[in-house]
Amino acid sequence: MFLKKTIHFFIKKLKTLKNKTKIYYLNQQKGINVSTTTEFGRNVYFTTSSQFWKHFKNGAIITGNFCKFSRNSNLLAYGGTITFGDYSGVGEGVNIYGHGNVTVGKNCLIAMGSCILSSNHSIPNIHSTINSQPDILLPTLIEDDVWIGANSVILGGITIGKGAVIAAGSVVHKDIPPYAIAAGNPVRIIKYRSND
């Protein structure tokens, strides 16, 4: 169950900022690690062994209200911003890298083992090493009411339109229009959700 073994946090020294809860201190129990630049909405639920880190100056993680994050989920801003709308949920073992900014809308489901990127590396000539290349920042947008199936990979610079469904194991390398159902590696549109 998604909320099984939900940990109740005792949050101290709260400051209200634009209807969000700014975390200045969080009791870090059972493997939950939270950066001081993380902002949580009301009634956000976590399970064990998750990380919410800014990783570099000026990074931020902001959640809406009633979001849910399962165990071993990692939100790593790396200097960018990761934002979640209200009522969105993240399954076990999801990794989100916010270098170039990741925005997840309201009522989204991101199933276990998925990975969302917002940057890439250039591929240099043979006289330079790949790891010496800077990140290319590629903002990623997941609009409202999107379902991302288990073990999917969302590459940087992608927009997934409102109400879209991404099948399990897909590699999303291009924009997905609203209400599309897409699957595969590389991803392709299978059909659209019904209007009935």
Active site amino acids: 121
| Contact (CB, 8 A) for 114 and 153 | yes
| Contact (CB, 8 A) for 22 and 39 | yes
CA 135, 167, 178, 188 torsion-angle sign: positive
Phi and psi dihedrals of 109, rounded to 5?
-120, 125
